[in-house]
């Protein structure tokens, strides 16, 4: 009989990542075939009846979605201010599983956003130590001064530490347009770098995430990521 670790079963069901699942187990929230299980590391049959607070869990199909986020959406599960969330763009008809965004894009920021119900991968990709590169197209309110370009290349000291980018360059024909590659996951890091130097970011678009691009993916549309691309994502973390 095929066995699966209980925390993995819970994670597959889209409840939370494995680490959080271990806490649920310790706290006595998980029952297997009618009996509470509190030992972390327990393995259960794949066809066991696993419940969380009395609700039967089902090991969901893993989903990996790439969305080209438009402006005017928040990347949270719900918003207390009543603003639209990116989840409203994903059709429940084609993806009934409970997915959630990996990391965040600001309300006014557009571009590539990964959504998944793979808790382990989501946690690793969003971790500050992750080396996953993100590529941004930035449009400023004025031309970027060459000394500021060099300063960004060297690193900008912000209130929460040094902000380092992997690559930054101006579009030759229009120095208000900047290309930037960065792997840091600090909150609003790109906007904060330019704000620190006295610029306003008029447009911020994430055009690349790891090896994924938004080529042939219109704004507001989404696709399932192919298995080969998912495996490549997993190899990065």
* Enzyme catalytic residues: 106
Residues 6+ apart with CB under 8 A from 97: 14, 60, 61, 63, 117
Rg (CA), the chain: 21
Nearest to 108 by CA among 218, 201, 213: 201
Pairing, β 174-182 against β 167-171: antiparallel
Burial of residue 113 (number of CB atoms within 10 Å: 0-12, 13-18, 19+): buried
Q: How many residues does the chain have?
A: 237
With beta carbons less than 8 A apart as the criterion, state whether 222 and 67 touch: yes
With beta carbons less than 8 A apart as the criterion, state whether 140 and 180 touch: no
């Amino acid at each position: 009989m095929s066995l699966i670790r209980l925390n993995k079963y819970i994670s597959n069901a889209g409840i939370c990542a494995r680490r959080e699942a271990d806490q649920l187990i310790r706290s006595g929230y998980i029952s297997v075939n009618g009996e509470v299980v509190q030992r972390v590391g327990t393995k259960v049959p794949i066809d066991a009846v696993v419940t969380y607070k009395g609700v039967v869990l089902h090991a969901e199909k893993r989903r990996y979605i790439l969305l080209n986020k438009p402006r005017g959406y928040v990347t949270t599960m719900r918003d207390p201010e009543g603003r639209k969330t990116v989840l409203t763009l994903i059709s429940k008809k084609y993806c009934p599983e409970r997915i959630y965004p990996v990391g965040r894009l600001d309300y006014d920021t557009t571009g590539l956003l990964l959504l998944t119900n793979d808790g382990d991968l989501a946690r690793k990709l969003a971790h500050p130590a992750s080396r996953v590169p993100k590529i941004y197209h930035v449009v400023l309110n004025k031309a970027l001064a060459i000394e500021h370009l060099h300063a960004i290349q060297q690193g900008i000291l912000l209130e929460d530490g040094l902000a380092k980018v992997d690559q930054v360059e101006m579009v030759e024909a229009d120095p208000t347009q900047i290309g930037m590659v960065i792997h840091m996951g600090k909150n609003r890091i790109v906007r904060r770098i330019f704000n620190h130097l006295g610029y306003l970011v008029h447009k911020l678009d994430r055009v690349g995430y790891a090896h994924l691009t938004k080529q042939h993916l219109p704004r507001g549309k989404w696709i399932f990521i192919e298995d080969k691309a998912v495996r490549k994502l997993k190899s990065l973390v």
